[in-house]
Chain A
Amino acid sequence: MSQHTNPETGTQVEDESSLDDGQPEQQSTPGPRREVAKRVFAREFNDATYEFQEANHDRATQWTLLPTGERLNRIFIVGALTEVADLDEGPMRLVVFDGHSKFVVYAGKYTPSARETARELEPPEYVAIVGKYNRFAPEDGDDIYLSIKPESISVVDEEVQQNWVMKTAELTLKRISRFCRQESADRAARDLDVNQAIDQYGSDLSPYRNASINVLETVFDV
């Protein structure tokens, strides 16, 4: 786990609109802070392997960094359930297809109500899942696996899934466009999360761009 400096400081970008669409997350009302549920397609989410914390204490929020330069803690997905497996003595494993790639979801004993819902599911079915990211790096390999720990799972209809695809494509476009604007600026003037994304993953966003296009084509049949 690495430390990451505060992105609220020292970010100056010439284009004002590029500043307001990033972090820290907007909170309209007072009360305990919570993390916004990000909308991300599976292709991008599964690549978000760089994890960081802002403050050096156990309770500080953990983030994983999306290749498009935005941080994620909570995620909201809607997709087609393709697999449900009750792992021995372990969590329920769900696979959710977004039209291009797959999200893996583990509903364990710490989320009993999500787990109970998962137990009753049988593919195919559209499901909406709110949850936190989970990162798993086996000791005997270089691969890192991203999955979702659900807070809630619900069965939805096709229209809810189409809403989600539209919104997720819009927000992915917004992130890519912000990334591109930032990338053309001096390094010192960029958002720190964008710099970190460039360092960790490089600047080629075409896989995410193409995946988004592919999801739209598949889901809306255009």
Chain B
Amino acid sequence: MPDFDSRARDLMEQLPEDSDVTHEEIVDLYEKCYGFKITGNDLDNIVQRKLAKQTGAEVSTGAQGGDQHYEITDLGANHDEEWISLTGQVLTIWDDVPDGIAQKGRIGDDTGTIEFSLFEKSLQSNPSLEVQEGKSYRFESVVGDYYDERIRVRINSRSSIEEVDRSFSPPESDVIGLLGVIVDVVPPSGLIKRCADPDCSYVLDDGECPDHGVVGDHEFDLRIKAILDDGEEYHRVVFPLEQTESLTDISLADARRLAEQEYDHTVVEQKVGDRVLGRHVEIHGRELDNYIVVNEAAEYSLRQTESEATIENSAEQLIEQLQSVGRSA
């Protein structure tokens, strides 16, 4: 259960001294609402409206900036539905967000990273809540949101967000190693144009940057977004320039030449697709939001890993197992 005690204390301080509302009454009211599964803003609104009616005093939780300031690594299940503040850098804002959500992405400080979301409704009532990728902010009065065994934060209409002039370097997540087949290449892959603004590296969509609109200037990049599938599970992976070049034998210069010849930069997507689709690759990378960013990639080769005799041996073992499976029982 959230820390209603501190919220009640917070509210008590704002009430006129002669009011006869007690700390316990406020906590009880919170707990009662919570029992109805009411959470977040709704919960505070009910309590505040009730207090206002009883005492005539305008009170509110959260927005006074009195929430405890946390480092991201310290946030956990016990901060569900808690008002918190934190300072961090917006690492990514995702392209695909569900209906009703204005922004969703990841914030990092020097201790860790956390997913955030901002609802359309909140943004409409407070347009200053919009954040930009790469910038750092002090987030006041955001609400913890714990589900699927992960803590996230919700920016809400009562939050306040102030840009701060510093950057953060979140600890890197563990290296993940995977072996699978590239079964799909996801657009935009191949030769892509990125916004030339040094603080922005968005991929341009038809010459348009999601942040800067139509931009005259761009930088070329080569990458592959792909689905790596091992027959039992799949992962979204992205091969940056260097790994794309080594996997496809197509350099950025080749790609640009090809695009110029054909007057079309999407031919490169087709070309890299032809080179990698159906290939077994072994990758090492780090998880970043929707994707695993590949640091190392090599085409998987049974023959390089194992001697001819070992391969035959594995085949014979499989045959034996297939012959005996279910028959001993």
Q: Are A and B physically bound partners?
A: yes
Known contacts A152-B277, A159-B303: A171-B231 contact under CB 8 Å: yes
CB contact between A217 and one of B181, B303, B319, B325 (< 8 Å): that residue: B319
- Contact in complex: B292, A216 (CB < 8 Å): no
Would you call A173 an interface residue if the criterion is a C-beta within 8 Å of the partner chain's C-beta atoms?
Answer: yes
Q: A202 to nearest B CB, angstroms?
A: 14
Whole-angstrom CA separation of A150 from B96 in the bound complex: 27
Residue-wise, chain A 22-47 has the 8 Å CB interface mask toward B (1 for contact) of 00011111111010111100000000
Q: Contact residue range for chain B?
A: 35 or more
- Contact in complex: B183, A76 (CB < 8 Å): yes
CB contact between A176 and one of B235, B290, B291, B326 (< 8 Å): that residue: B326
Would you call A5 an interface residue if the criterion is a C-beta within 8 Å of the partner chain's C-beta atoms?
Answer: no
- Contact in complex: B233, A25 (CB < 8 Å): yes
Residues of B within 8 A of A76 (CB): 181, 183, 229, 231, 278
- Contact in complex: B322, A169 (CB < 8 Å): yes
Residue-wise, chain B 306-329 has the 8 Å CB interface mask toward A (1 for contact) of 000001101110110111011001
Residues of A within 8 A of B326 (CB): 176-177, 179-180, 183, 205
Residues of B within 8 A of A39 (CB): 231
Between A and B, how many residue pairs show CB distances below 8 Å?
139
Would you call A109 an interface residue if the criterion is a C-beta within 8 Å of the partner chain's C-beta atoms?
Answer: no
Residues of B within 8 A of A122 (CB): none
Would you call B301 an interface residue if the criterion is a C-beta within 8 Å of the partner chain's C-beta atoms?
Answer: yes
- Contact in complex: B323, A209 (CB < 8 Å): yes
Residues of B within 8 A of A160 (CB): 278-280
Would you call A166 an interface residue if the criterion is a C-beta within 8 Å of the partner chain's C-beta atoms?
Answer: yes
Closest to B274 in A: A154
Known contacts A29-B236, A76-B181: A213-B278 contact under CB 8 Å: no
Residues of A within 8 A of B (CB): 21, 25-32, 34, 36-39, 74, 76, 78, 113, 117, 127-130, 151-152, 154, 156, 159-160, 162-163, 166-173, 176-177, 179-180, 183-184, 205, 209, 212-213, 216-217, 219-222
Besides A27-B234, A154-B279, 9 other A-B contacts (C-beta < 8 A): A28-B236, A36-B232, A38-B231, A151-B184, A156-B279, A169-B315, A176-B322, A209-B322, A216-B318
Residues of B within 8 A of A (CB): 96, 181, 183-184, 227, 229-236, 270, 273-274, 277-280, 287, 289-292, 300-303, 311-312, 314-316, 318-319, 321-323, 325-326, 329
Complex A-B: 16 CB contacts under 8 Å = A27-B233, A27-B234, A28-B234, A28-B292, A29-B292, A31-B236, A37-B231, A154-B274, A154-B278, A160-B280, A162-B311, A166-B302, A171-B232, A176-B322, A216-B318, A216-B322
Nearest 9 CB-CB pairings of A with B: A128-B278, A180-B326, A26-B233, A220-B315, A39-B231, A154-B278, A130-B183, A152-B277, A154-B277
